Amino acid sequence: MNSNTIDKILLKEINKRRTFAIISHPDAGKTTLTEKLLLFGGAIQQAGAVKSRKVARAATSDFLSIEQERGISVSSSVMKFEYKGYEINLLDTPGHKDFSEDTYRVLTAVDCAVMIIDNAKGVEPQTQKLMEVCRMRNTPIITFINKLDREGMEPLDIFEDIEDKLQIECVPLSWPIGMGKRFKGVYNFAKKELGIFSAGYSPKDDDGFYIDDLTDLRLDEMISETQAKQLREDVDLIVGASEPLDMDLYLNGTQTPVFFGSAINNFGVKEMLDAFVKIAPPPGKRSTAQRDVEPFEKGFSGFTFKIQANMDPEHRDRIAFFRICSGKFTKGMKVRHHRIGKEIKLSNATIFMAQERNNIEEAYPGDIIGIHNHGTIKIGDTFTSKEPLKFLGIPSFAPEHFRRVILKDPLKAKSLNKGLVQLSEEGAIQVFRPLLGNLHIVGAVGVLQFDVTMARLKAEYNVNASYETIDLSVARWITCEDEKVLKEFKKKNESNLTLDSEGWLTFLTTSVYQLGFTMEEWPQIVFHKTREHN
């Protein structure tokens, strides 16, 4: 596109947007960091607001609390705040019990991720899983090593752990002095200054205490002679030994800038946020089945990555979370919903602020809007002003938990079918029909989804059903270029094969080990961990 034709206002709005998510293992400090970021952004006034939602979320999974939970997770699904002139959209990645496919899919809608590592634990399993999803789009990662006020691993050991387990090279942008009781502060390489740690300083004390010259002898008094000597040596060593951050490598997800701090004490958070707004990329181009779409194109476009059902039990409506990829959204605009070939009017879209939902007049690429609908929108649906496009990279992820559905009233088979199809369209669960036998198998990425599904089948479709456990833990979508081989594979593996709700052939098995065995036996068959929506 000729730069003269680019709308300058649109470009300005795009450049100030940062859309990201936090990836971490439960307990690493995501809630605490989120809260501090919102405090810095002025989106909440006091600590505790995010925390209390988390406590409510951890409630048991009876129907009422599931309902309540959905309310909670919508209001914290997208937290928008401003910082130093930037408009930041922080997308929640539910963890703990509410870990689900949505947690993965949220990562398809961001431009960057902040990874939190607990300094005592190093890289943990959930972080590893989420990183795998980030890898699919080479999402840039900024790392925050948390809990330096506690004893933990040495920084270089954490780097080794990250590099080993996540195959991403660490480039320290800050460096800690000691840890636990000996934690004295963090040296910032970019600013060449040292922030001296004091427990629990407030985001309002913008300045904290800094020293900008490491040869300053006051340093020896403040942090002890031994630690000052150590810091000078560490800084010399790191400056001498490590390459500076390579923006290209970082932007394609192979290098990660690393910050150290203590979220609970608000230490190192501002440094990270200051660097974040500068180096996190603004919304960029996105692939569609037809062509790449640039954010500054005039035509409006975007995709749905999450659907939240009946927030209000009276109205049974659903909110589709929609990521804007190009153009400008204006209230009441008409867009084309390509999958169903209809024009729809976006009259009551919602924008998500940190604590409330507001009706919006306009929104830009990188923003997430909530669109109310009655079940017509599916995950992965693309809307554009006109051009028929289909955004790619918003897939279904292979479930890891499975149950067989047993219907109590056989006359309700049709309702059960309808309910399961609709719930799978929302991305809540996945449904598989075995090639042999006719009982549905449901699959989920997180087990809470089973309770949600059962409760909703009863409440919304009047279906009484129950689950039977089933010895399965792996699903892979199957393709093969050679029809003959595929036919043979189907014949030999019929008892492990199913069709998912969109008719795709899916192989289900008991373990990764078994999968490996089958893959070895059938080298021409491709086993996919994700699949794009129709």
Residue ranges binding ligand G4P (CB under 6 A): 24, 26-32, 51, 146-147, 149-150, 262-265
Q: State which residue, 51 or 334, has the beta carbon closest to ligand G4P.
A: 51
Give min distance, CB of 289 to ligand G4P, in A: 36
CA atoms of 145 and 319, how far apart (whole Å): 35
Tell me the longest C-alpha to C-alpha distance in the chain. Answer: 83
Q: State which residue, 147 or 378, has the beta carbon closest to ligand G4P.
A: 147
Q: Give CA separation, 415 vs 402, 422, 435, in Å.
A: 21, 11, 21
Taking each continuous run of H as one helix and of E as one strand, the counts in the chain are 15, 33
Task: Of 339, 467, 324, give the one whose Cα is nearest residue 408.
Answer: 467
Q: State which residue, 262 or 498, has the beta carbon closest to ligand G4P.
A: 262
Rg (CA), the chain: 25
With vertex at residue 519, the alpha carbon angle to CA 518 and CA 520, rounded to the nearest 5 degrees, is 90
CA atoms of 419 and 457, how far apart (whole Å): 6
Give min distance, CB of 223 to ligand G4P, in A: 19
Give min distance, CB of 52 to ligand G4P, in A: 10
Q: Phi and psi for 205 in degrees, rounded to 5?
A: -80, 80
Give min distance, CB of 67 to ligand G4P, in A: 22
Residue type, 81: F
CA atoms of 401 and 448, how far apart (whole Å): 10
Give min distance, CB of 279 to ligand G4P, in A: 22
Q: State which residue, 94 or 427, has the beta carbon closest to ligand G4P.
A: 94
Helix (H) or strand (E) holding 91: strand 86-91
Q: State which residue, 28 or 279, has the beta carbon closest to ligand G4P.
A: 28
> DSSP 3-state assignment of 219?
helix
Give min distance, CB of 29 to ligand G4P, in A: 4
Q: State which residue, 261 or 302, has the beta carbon closest to ligand G4P.
A: 261
Give min distance, CB of 267 to ligand G4P, in A: 7
Alpha helices of 59-209 — where are they, by DSSP H?
A: 63-75, 101-106, 125-136, 155-166
Q: State which residue, 51 or 386, has the beta carbon closest to ligand G4P.
A: 51
Give min distance, CB of 19 to ligand G4P, in A: 20
Contact 360, 351 (CB under 8 A): yes
Q: State which residue, 48 or 388, has the beta carbon closest to ligand G4P.
A: 48
CA dihedral 354, 360, 363, 368 (to 10 degrees): 50
